[in-house]
Structure 1
Amino acid sequence: MKKVYSLSLIMVLALSVILAACGNKSDNASGGSTSGSKGSSDVKVGMVTDVGGVNDKSFNQSAWEALEKVQSAGGANVKYLQSKSDQDYIPNLNQFVKDGYSLTWGIGFNLADAIKTVAGQNPDAKLAIIDSVVDAPNVKSVTFSENEGSFLVGVVAGKMTKTNKIGFVGGEKSPLIQRFEAGFQAGIKAVNPKAEFIANYAGAFDKPDVGKAAAATMYNEGVDIIFHAAGATGTGVFNEAASRKKSGQQVWVIGVDKDQSLEFGDEVTLTSMIKRVDTAVEKVSQEVIDGTFKGGTETLGLKDDGVGIAETSSKNVPADVLKLVDEYKAKIVAGEVKVPDTVK
């Protein structure tokens, strides 16, 4: 009986170890994954986020919402993997490729090197990236004319500032984020050349506390409108503005990438510079579904409706200012106004 009991105990322990190991396989080292209810399609589309996370209220969230829309239409089954650091980029991308995904997205310019590496090692895989150009036949690169959309919200800020001090909070200092700054500053100067402009870079896209501190410093210096291009770090800018609004201080934030008034409210969001990451992700994913996917580069600007300002802007921006915005938009599309894309 002792031998039977011992053998049974060993088998139970062994089974427990196996079950535990199986459970651990579903825990991604990169910090989480998810997928919605399965669609009817055999097409699978994966998305790897930057460190800002899928719930950054901005860039990554727009991309994920686009994929959820594709899935809801029955076009594909979708899933994301969240990166905690740049060390997760290649493992996350490789996981989708090795699992036979029809398309793997890298969201953000920081994933460019990882996309290039994985694409080179897997020439039959299809990959796509937002905000960077990867020169490979199996990669679709989508970039935007952020400077053009930022020019328009610069016009709004320049006309609506009461203190004549306007701020910009960026995430990581890079040519991409500086395109936001360059266009924003040019828009301000076009309508209010006497306005003082202050820029601050947080150095990260996932640090709301740093964004809050940067905003506090600017508001303390008399800035009354801040445009952020900082991903989840920008959440801190909104939090600081909301706190000051409650105490009676009249300050504003200009959102980025999506209509951030839907997340943070009209009381604090003056307008938002829309960057149609969602449209780009949906479009390219649909190309895979339709069998028309091709590598290459596509840049979306005002003429493509790839950038612009939020439709809800009329809640806080007067009609005469919006009319001026439309006039500048028409001039930019016609080539009459050239918007700088570098900070000078």
Structure 2
Amino acid sequence: MKLISRSSAAKALTLAAVSALVLSGCAAAPEETTDAAAVDFLACAVSDEGNWNDKSFNEAVYTGLLQAEAELGVTINALESATPEDFEPNLQASVDAGCDIIIGVGFALGDAITKISAENPDLHFALVDSTSESTNVKPLLFETAEAGFLAGYASADYSTSKTIGTYGGLPFPSVTDFMTGYYYGAMQWGIDNDTEVTVLGWDPMAPDNGDFMNGFAPNNPEGLAIAKTQLQAGADVLLPVGGNQFTAAQSAIDELNPDAVMLGVDVDIAAGNPDLAPYIFTSIEKRMTIATFDVIKALVDGAAFDATPYVGTLANKGVAITAFTDFASKVSSGLADKLAELEAGIIDGTYKPKG
């Protein structure tokens, strides 16, 4: 670990110059104050389509950068991608700035980060939610089916109709893993309670029949239509997996069943969106903040770059379900203990969240 030198200052100046040349709409996130002694390390990230304040996975990664800045003393740079066309220019800007690690947020950056990393084999990259054929890209992956299993079990327990629903953006593993865990968790509740549970929108044994929005646009009109269809079919718990679909789901709930609830994904949606808290039963978290910080810290501490995937699990606290917050007084009295038992069983292999 080295204190910032003239070369480090030059690196920061280069970064500022490069950032100014990034395509219109790709703004750098504002600088934050650094609490730790500065070190000679530049940690960079490129967002998925959207911004760093999306209250979802972009923001979770950015929070990890801020933590690294404050606790490790690194310099950070975070470039926003207004559209997918900004991925490559933002990645190239980070390369030109001499970043020590470049983190791509989301599987949508997969092709761009594979291309840029292959052209720069001596640099280090990380990619959230996907893998790459490049040997200098570290995948940051999350076993969301594990936390999804807990959420599905709790949802079936809470449901009065014993019909719950889920739908996704596109049938990618990073989407369907949430849905699969949710499905098998609900089925486990049915087995434990000798009660039939119906999951609308997804059956892992019949994936071609799943409900998908064909995209990830926020509050997708197609997602709204699916939510309404599932509510009309009796679902009183919804799991939309496709980024920010929560206002649309809220609208469907208000119109068709005000007693219904929904689940958040990626981050603690209730904590970041107080207006949605009365609708959010729990959230299935991918703790990307922890993963981002840990990857940076390892390099700052002097570890050699390792492209072996980081995998967030229940065991390492990389995935979880959040507190029931507004619904804590409404869940079954024994649910918390049962979920703790299930979590231990998932960790030791007794329960199989992917079937």
TM-score by length of 2: 0.81
Which amino acid letter does the alignment assign opposite residue 33 of structure 1?
A
**Which residue is 2:8 aligned to?**
none
Q: RMSD of the TM alignment (CA)?
A: 2.4
Mapped partners of 1:201, 1:235: distance in 2: 17
- Give CA deviations for 1:281-334 in whole Å, capped at 9, x if unaligned: 110011222221322212221112111111355725334112211111111111
Per mean C-alpha deviation after superposition, the further-off stretch among 294-303 and 272-281 is 294-303
Which amino acid letter does the alignment assign opposite residue 206 of structure 1?
A
Q: Work out which of the residue numbers 296, 302, 324 in structure 2 matches 1:291.
A: 302
Larger radius of gyration: 1
1:36 aligns with 2:31: yes
Mapped partners of 2:163, 2:257: distance in 1: 18
Which amino acid letter does the alignment assign opposite residue 252 of structure 1?
V
Q: Work out which of the residue numbers 177, 180, 194 in structure 2 matches 1:179.
A: 177
Displacement of 1:151 in angstroms is 0.5
1:267 aligns with 2:278: yes
Mapped partners of 1:25, 1:298: distance in 2: 33
Is the 1:52–1:205 contact (alpha carbons within 8 Å) kept by the matching residues of 2? Answer: no
Residue 34 of structure 1 aligns to a residue in which SS? coil
Mapped partners of 1:289, 1:101: distance in 2: 13
Mapped partners of 1:124, 1:145: distance in 2: 29
Q: Show structure 2 runs of 5+ residues with no match.
A: 1-16, 202-210
**Which residue is 2:334 aligned to?**
320
Mapped partners of 1:270, 1:114: distance in 2: 36
Q: How does 1:191-270 map to 2 (within 5 A)?
A: 191-192=189-190, 194-199=196-201, 200-210=211-221, 211-241=223-253, 243-244=254-255, 249-265=258-274, 266-270=277-281
What count of residue pairs does the alignment treat as equivalent?
A: 316
Residue 48 of structure 2 aligns to a residue in which SS? coil
Percent of aligned pairs sharing the same letter: 26
Per mean C-alpha deviation after superposition, the further-off stretch among 168-177 and 183-192 is 168-177
**Which residue is 1:308 aligned to?**
320
- Give CA deviations for 1:53-82 in whole Å, capped at 9, x if unaligned: 323322111111111121222522222222
Mapped partners of 2:213, 2:316: distance in 1: 31
Mapped partners of 2:258, 2:251: distance in 1: 13
Per mean C-alpha deviation after superposition, the further-off stretch among 257-266 and 63-72 is 257-266
Mapped partners of 1:53, 1:212: distance in 2: 23
Distance 1:43 1:175, change over 3 A: same
Mapped partners of 1:289, 1:222: distance in 2: 52
Residue 304 of structure 1 aligns to a residue in which SS? coil
Per mean C-alpha deviation after superposition, the further-off stretch among 228-237 and 308-317 is 308-317
Displacement of 1:30 in angstroms is 4.5
Distance 1:55 1:171, change over 3 A: farther
Distance 1:26 1:112, change over 3 A: closer
- Give CA deviations for 1:158-193 in whole Å, capped at 9, x if unaligned: 111112221112122212211111111000011126
Residue 48 of structure 1 aligns to a residue in which SS? strand
Q: Show structure 1 runs of 5+ residues with no match.
A: 1-21
Which amino acid letter does the alignment assign opposite residue 325 of structure 1?
L
TM-score by length of 1: 0.84
Displacement of 1:235 in angstroms is 4.3
Per mean C-alpha deviation after superposition, the further-off stretch among 192-201 and 326-335 is 192-201
Per mean C-alpha deviation after superposition, the further-off stretch among 198-207 and 105-114 is 198-207
Is the 1:52–1:232 contact (alpha carbons within 8 Å) kept by the matching residues of 2? Answer: no
- Give CA deviations for 1:242-284 in whole Å, capped at 9, x if unaligned: x45xx97201011112211113343111111121111111100
Mapped partners of 1:125, 1:225: distance in 2: 45
Looking at secondary structure, tell me which structure has more helix per residue. Answer: 1
Moved over 6 A (4+): none
Is the 1:270–1:317 contact (alpha carbons within 8 Å) kept by the matching residues of 2? Answer: no
Distance 1:203 1:248, change over 3 A: closer
